[in-house]
Amino acid sequence: MTISGNVNSTTFAPVERVHLETDCRVLPGQLAADDTTWPKGLIVVREDADHDWTPLGESQPGNDLFLIGVLDEEVDTAASAVGLVVRQGAVKKDLLRRGVTTPDAPDSAILFFLERRGIYAL
């Protein structure tokens, strides 16, 4: 049997994710809507008064009890307050950020606390 017909091709731009293609737990989370764009790789921490997740601030200490995970994609919180968050697994170290206004790379203490939560920066 021969199958014939036209094949339509669509080109997709590859999306770079923060998590590595290993056993990862990536779950949706309710983010605090502060009308800013949160970059992918942003470290997300404890709930605010409304039980929403907030970003780890530039000068905020990294307490392992408060770290939730790492944002897997950029989110404009003015348009959507839900984002995919890596809760467990391996992430790309060079994409990790703390702070929204002036994102900075996390220090070794933050990386240590992420490891204690089961998130490994490679």
Radius of gyration from C-alpha coordinates of the chain: 17
The answer to whether position 63 is within a domain reads: yes
Can you give the residue range of the structural domain that contains 73? Answer: 25-121
Q: 3 lies in a domain?
A: no
What string of H, E and C letters represents the secondary structure of the chain?
CCCCCCCCCCCCCCCCCCECCCCCEEEEEEECCCCCEECCCEEEEEECCCCCEEECCCCCCCCCCCEEEEECCCEECCCCCEEEEEEEEEECHHHCEECCCCCECCCHHHHHHHHHCCEEEC
pLDDT in tens, 56-68: 876 666 665 578 8
- Residue 11 within a domain: no
pLDDT digit of tens for each residue in the chain (122 aa)? 555 545 454 444 455 667 666 667 888 888 988 889 999 999 888 777 777 888 887 666 666 557 889 998 999 999 998 999 999 999 999 999 988 888 889 989 889 989 988 999 98
* 1 in a structural domain: no
Question: Residues of the chain with pLDDT > 70: what percent?
Answer: 75
pLDDT of residue 15: 54
CATH number, residue 40: 2.40.300.10
Q: Does a structural domain hold residue 52?
A: yes
Q: How many domains does the chain have?
A: 1
Q: Does 109 map to a domain?
A: yes
Task: Answer whether residue 5 is part of any domain.
Answer: no
Write the single-letter amino acid at 51. H
